[in-house]
Amino acid sequence: QETTIPATFQGFGVDKPENWNKPKLVEYKRKIVNPHDVVVKNIACGLCGSDILTLKADWSPLLRNDAVVGHEIIGHVIAIGDKVTQVKIGDRVGIGAASNSCRDCSRCTHDNEQYCADGAGTYNSVDAAAEDYITQGGYSSHSIANEQFVFPIPEAMETVHAAPLMCAGLTVYSPLVRNLGTDAKGKTVGIIGIGGLGHLALQFANALGANVVAFSRTSSKKEQALKLGAHEFIATAEEKDWKKKYADHFDLILNCASGIDGLVLDNYLQVLKVDKKFVSVGLPPTKDNIQVSPHTFLHQGASFGSSLLGSKTEALQMLELATAKGVKPWVEEIQIGEDGCHEALTRCDKGDIRYRFVFTGFDKAFTA
């Protein structure tokens, strides 16, 4: 089987943070294939906000000078390790933002493999189980991931709609069901930041039966947010006193914003019901911190939390719910290539996308 896998993969990589929106065609040695690994020939990849933050080195330095990002990958399985049981050659599958873990610790064995201390991210991450390979993402010809991080795609789902669910969809689904359960009727959830993650959070929260309130900085996305499943919309930069109107209102507030402009955490904590949580999946640059007063927490017994991706079990449930309820990312398809990567990264960084870029046309871009 090894013979069917090219020794080198091709991708669109960045050499240094100053060139974050100018990926160039690169060829690199691939990761080794372990017994539980799946090799995928990529056919589509979404552009996540994390791709931009990573390439700009807003979180941590770039670990390679040909760094390929992309972790909303869809492709076909072309080879599998000896011990793989969960997928077979030819299957259409997806890979999200995590691609390996020890599979043995208590987190790995209790549906929290995305929190494994020895886990590897899909890009710009050290894979301890693969000779410390620095992982490469899905703006590329092929991907390799442990089968636990490889999700079968329901047949009825289109590839371009499946891609954004691999990271954005799963990342919002997990905290929604962990905090509200799978039946959220009668519960009210607030979603902050209506981008790739946020527009899926509106849809999933609505699909779970919740009453949904969208928070966006301006009113420009109001009409679309209501179409996406929000019941109410608040433009935080325009409606200054929304806090009064929403006292004792929310069972959960999920922050999906990629930055902290205008984010007054005290306000959000003050509109929670008692014992409820504000959960941030949004990950601003590491230099940006959120301020909060302990007095704010006190009066609601509120909690501030975080959430990282989701488990495979949750990914499969999410795909099922998306199929059943018609949850569909709003996508703009774009040809993968140096030009396409440049355009999509630049426009997403400016907020000029409703709501997810998905790269396609991989056959045209890669010869391998």
Kindly list the residues in this chain that would bind ligand NDP in the complex (CB under 6 A). 48-50, 53, 97, 167-168, 171, 193-198, 216-217, 221, 256-261, 281-283, 307-309, 348, 351
List the beta bridge partners of residue 95. Answer: 73, 150
Q: How far is the CB of 215 from ligand NDP (least distance, A)?
A: 7
Look at residue 258 and give the partner it binds from Zn ion, ligand NDP, none, a contact being a CB closer than 5 to 8 Å depending on partner kind: ligand NDP
Best CA proximity match to 99, nearest among 183, 161, 40, 157: 40
* Per-residue binding letters, 188-227, with Zn ion (x by CB under 5 A): ----------------------------------------
Dig out the tokens for 61 from the structure: 């330095």
DSSP classification of residue 5: S
CA-CA-CA-CA dihedral for 48, 54, 58, 59, to nearest 10: 100
Rounded to whole angstroms, what are the CA distances from 257 to 59, 198, 280?
Answer: 15, 8, 8
Q: Which is nearer to Zn ion, 97 or 160 (CB)?
A: 97
In angstroms, the CA 325 to CA 161 distance is 14
In the bound state with Zn ion, the residue whose beta carbon lies nearer, of 169 and 233, is 169
DSSP helix/strand/coil, 358 = strand
Q: Measured between alpha carbons, how far is 182 from 208 in angstroms, rounded to an integer?
A: 6
Closer Cβ to ligand NDP, 13 or 46, answer by number: 46
Instruction: State the binding partner of 308 from ligand NDP, Zn ion, none, CB within 5 to 8 A by kind.
Output: ligand NDP
- Could you tell me which stretch among 163-171, 204-212, 213-221, 257-265 binds Zn ion (CB under 5 A)? 163-171
Reported residue count of the chain is 368
Q: Quick check: 163 binds Zn ion (CB under 5 A)?
A: no
Q: Give yes or no for residue 116 binding Zn ion (CB under 5 A).
A: yes
End-to-end CA, the chain:
16
Verify binding: residue 101, Zn ion, rule CB under 5 A: yes
Radius of gyration of the chain from its Cα atoms, rounded to whole angstroms: 20
Q: Does 105 bind Zn ion (CB under 5 A)?
A: yes
Binding status of residue 270 toward Zn ion by CB under 5 A: no
Q: Which stretch binds Zn ion (CB under 5 A): 22-30, 77-85, 110-118, 133-141?
A: 110-118
Nearer to Zn ion (CB atom), residue 72 or residue 251: 72
- Residue 260 binding partner per list Zn ion, ligand NDP, none, with a CB distance cut-off of 5 to 8 Å that depends on partner kind: ligand NDP
Q: Rounded to the nearest 5 degrees, what angle is found at the Cα of 33, between the Cα atoms of 31 and 36?
A: 130
Cβ-based nearer residue to ligand NDP, 33 or 254: 254
Nearest to 195 by CA among 168, 234, 233: 168
Of 194, 237, 202, 196, whose CA–CA distance to 218 is shortest?
A: 237
Name the β-bridge partners of 64. Answer: none
Nearer to Zn ion, 164 or 337 (CB): 164
Which of 25, 32, 87, 102: binder of Zn ion (CB under 5 A)? Answer: 102
Residues 37-56 that bind Zn ion (CB under 5 A): 48, 50
Binder among 39, 95, 108, 200 for Zn ion (CB under 5 A) = 108
Q: How far is the CB of 193 from ligand NDP (least distance, A)?
A: 3
Nearest to 137, CA basis, from 67, 80, 203: 67
**Quick one: 26 or 201, whose CB is closer to ligand NDP?**
201
Output the smallest distance, CB 286 to ligand NDP, in A. 11
Binding partner of 102, given Zn ion, ligand NDP, none, CB within 5-8 angstroms per partner class:
Zn ion
Contacts of 70 (CB under 8 A, 6+ apart): 45, 46, 47, 48, 51, 122, 123, 137, 138, 139, 140, 359
CB–CB of 108/179 below 8 Å?
A: no
Binding site for Zn ion (CB under 5 A): 48, 50, 97, 101-102, 105, 108, 116, 167
